[in-house]
Amino acid sequence: MSENKPLEVLSTIDLSEAQQEYIKNQVNNIHLTVVSAKDAANLPKEVWEKAEVLLTSGRNLPTREQAPALKWIQVPFAGVEHALEYPISSAPGVLLTSASGVRVSQLGEYALMALLALSHKLPKTIQAQREKKWLPNSSDVLMPQEIRESTVGIVGYGSIGREVARLLYSFGATVLAAKRNVMQPEDSSYNAQGLGDPKGNYFRRLYPIEGLPGMLKECDFVVLTLPLTKETYHLFDDKMFEAMKPGAGFVNIARGGLVDEAALVSALKSGRIGGAVLDVFEQEPLPPESPLWSLPNVIITPHISGISPKLMDAVVELFVQNLQRYQAGEPLYNIVDTSKGY
């Protein structure tokens, strides 16, 4: 990039006027073009040809021929599986960055809500309310498994898992965590100040993914926060659910494809798992015929654990910091290893 020539930045995500002005005021010497596009083919040829930086949902990427100058793609999600479906995301000379760390506050709150709901037997309480039934022996039937002094296993110790751990630490829970590389307990990815566990202070023990069965047998609750890759597809199958502590609670705020839903249904019906809060599914929307809908020990939400009215402002803040780093020749936050998928 020439020192005098403006950096050509294209956003195919709708940005408010205030967000556009913020980017222009915080980043010097850029030319920002905002064009909403659901399909790359709908954008004029000259728009693609000039773009060096692209802010996109990851579902409308161009070909290399359409965007010969493109060097960096920023997506507004922690998961990048949709962007990786397009060859340009892993093309030589193109960086792909995620928004890991942006949604940790709302995802952490959702996970905590889910754990409290399971610990205080909320599915049973809701079912009794629907049936207009005052449960006999309610102090026994609804006896909570208190978060304090419980053991919670977090599978995937990235920015989201670390924020869940931070919140649980304040409740007095014991946190066990599993991640791919246990030799790197610290986290250098993007995070808002005061959130997460960048130094690795909030877990009792760290397990490799291969050691999951040993971790699961100790956990009263299990929370999934890891990315979906070829290696993690259906990670939670019959064998993994069988390894869990009998009656444990299960929360998935990551990706539906991590879980073999038939195995999950079986574990829930048998009581092997005491209950589940599920925000993500292999097929979305979840089909009406899915048995998950009718299980009394399940709470279902429609992939809303990461939403917030302030979400796009947070994405823009990350994008601004990465633009500043890009212009300064510094490493960007959240560079994706496209060979691994995260």
Q: Phi-psi category of 24—alpha, beta or left, where left has phi over 0 and alpha has psi -120 to 50?
A: alpha
State the catalytic residue, choosing from 21, 85, 284, 330. Answer: 284
- State the Cα–Cα distance between residues 76 and 312, nearest whole angstrom: 8
Residue 198 phi, psi dihedral angles, 5° rounding: -60, -25
How far are the Cα atoms of 70, 113, 289, 332, 341 from residue 88, in angstroms, in the given order? 9, 39, 37, 18, 14
State the catalytic residue, choosing from 162, 255, 261, 317. Answer: 255
Active site residue 255: yes
Catalytic positions? 255, 284, 303
